[in-house]
Amino acid sequence: MPKNKKTKNIKLVTNPFYTPYIQDYSHRFECYKGSAGSGKSYFITQKLIIKAIQSSRKILMIRKIGTTIRDSIWQTTLDIIEEMEYSDFVKVNKSDFTIRFTNSDSTFIFKGLDDPEKIKSISGITDIFCEEATELTLDDVTQLNLRLRTRRKYPQMFFAFNPVSKTNWVYNYFGFTPENQLQETREYDDTIVFSTNYTHNKMLTKEYIDTLQALKDTNPIYYKIYVQGIFATLDKLVYNNWSVKDFDYKEILKKPDTIAIFGLDFGYINDESAFIASIVDTKNNIIYVFDEFYQKGLLNNEIADMIKSKGYSKEIIIADSAERKSIEELRQFGILRIKPARKGHNSIMQGIQKIQQYKIFVHINCQNTISELQNYSYKKDKQTGEYVNQPVDSNNHLMDAIRYSIQALNTHKPRVLNFRF
């Protein structure tokens, strides 16, 4: 890396594959498609920090949902600054999620696109990093690009993502094809596209690599996406009757013939505890998924606290009946109206077929629900190559929860007045 008076004392260890591009600002758009562990976000953040040290910049660090920032790009940026031994030259504002570089007057601003009005009020943006870009919409990206109208040199937008689906906007937007999606670098117009996987990152531990490789047997689709870095939309998804939509749940509940339903699937060490909240328009056969939580390692008292904090403690919640003890404990913790789901022969397919009769709108905040809907698939017969009428037992924690919740329509009249969003 060329040295100047502001960078000569910086300690910098970069991924060798990306190193030649650390001070290459010749493309307005830089696209980083890759597997888990390929070092995409890490390198982009390093590059932006170098840029911020060299001259005054206003850098916008974006994720779709603001609440995910603290444990992702915010912490990554702080870690890199510390590793570069540059902490003495920055001022960190944890409440506003900003980092100011005192030597160059550069500022990193961290925002979620769930509050677009706050983005509109920021002027003078010189650079934008969209982490987990597949969570954004094409309209989000268009609006962000319009914000990048500075007179400073080298305005840039950076995109980092795993290749989750060919149906995602990034596939066509960045010109991916089956033939070029593994091409390491590709340039066109004012765009450069990187396609990498974990093998490009020489700094990974053996334990991490072993974890990635284990996906080859346990989840072949995830192996393609998160290990090989290949777009791998499932051929036969269980649900094709859904779309992402920004809506006000309070306005939905004002409509006649609407009912709120709630479902819970238990997990702990290896699986997430998954809670889902929806509104069913029984007249128009529409399900509006408006809230979720999805987390490993939760004890039952913590699940109860989560339900209470969201204002759902007085609602009827249909939970996995295989966890009768957990259901009883939740009652003792104040979730009095929780009930076991009915299970029996073919109950999974009966529930799926029931949900398939509805049009589903998923709120943009419910990213885990969106992810499971994108990947929840039927099993494939190895001999015939035909899909069988049975779902794969993965990507299904929230899918199970919504299947349980739909049972409330037949047996209970849920309360709809007490919860908040």
Tell me the CA distances in angstroms from 334 to 300, 306, 337, one per residue in order: 11, 12, 9
pLDDT band at 207 (very low <50, low <70, confident <90, very high): confident
Tens-place pLDDT, residues 121-170: 888 999 999 999 998 989 999 999 998 888 888 999 999 999 977 878 99
2 or 68: which carries more pLDDT confidence? Answer: 68
> Alpha helices of 127-239 — where are they, by DSSP H?
138-147, 169-173, 206-218, 220-223
In the prediction, which pLDDT does 266 show?
93
pLDDT at 386: 63
For residue range 219-232, what is the model confidence (pLDDT) as tens digits?
Answer: 677 788 889 999 87
Nearest to 419 by CA among 332, 320, 317, 318: 317
* 3 state SS of 54: helix
Classify 400 as helix, strand or coil: helix
> Which of 359, 345, 343 minimizes the C-alpha distance to 407?
343
Share of the chain above pLDDT 90, in %: 59
User: How much is the pTM?
Assistant: 0.62
Whether 236 has a pLDDT exceeding 70, the answer reads yes
Dihedral angle of Cα 233, 236, 238, 242, to the nearest 10 degrees: 50
* Dihedral sign computed on CA atoms, order 164, 167, 171, 176: positive
CATH superfamily of 19-204: P-loop containing nucleotide triphosphate hydrolases (3.40.50.300)
| 242-411: CATH topology | Nucleotidyltransferase; domain 5 (3.30.420)
Would you state the pLDDT for residue 219? 62
Model confidence over 32-73: pLDDT tens digits? 999 989 999 999 999 999 999 999 999 999 998 888 888 889
Angle between helices 324-332 and 300-309 in degrees, nearest 10: 50
Where are the chain's structural domains? 19-204, 242-411
**Bridge partners, residue 245, by sequence:** 363
The one-letter amino acid at 281: D
Lowest mean pLDDT among 31-35, 162-166, 199-203, 280-284: 162-166
* Residue 333 pLDDT greater than 70, yes or no: yes
Strands 90-93 and 98-101: antiparallel
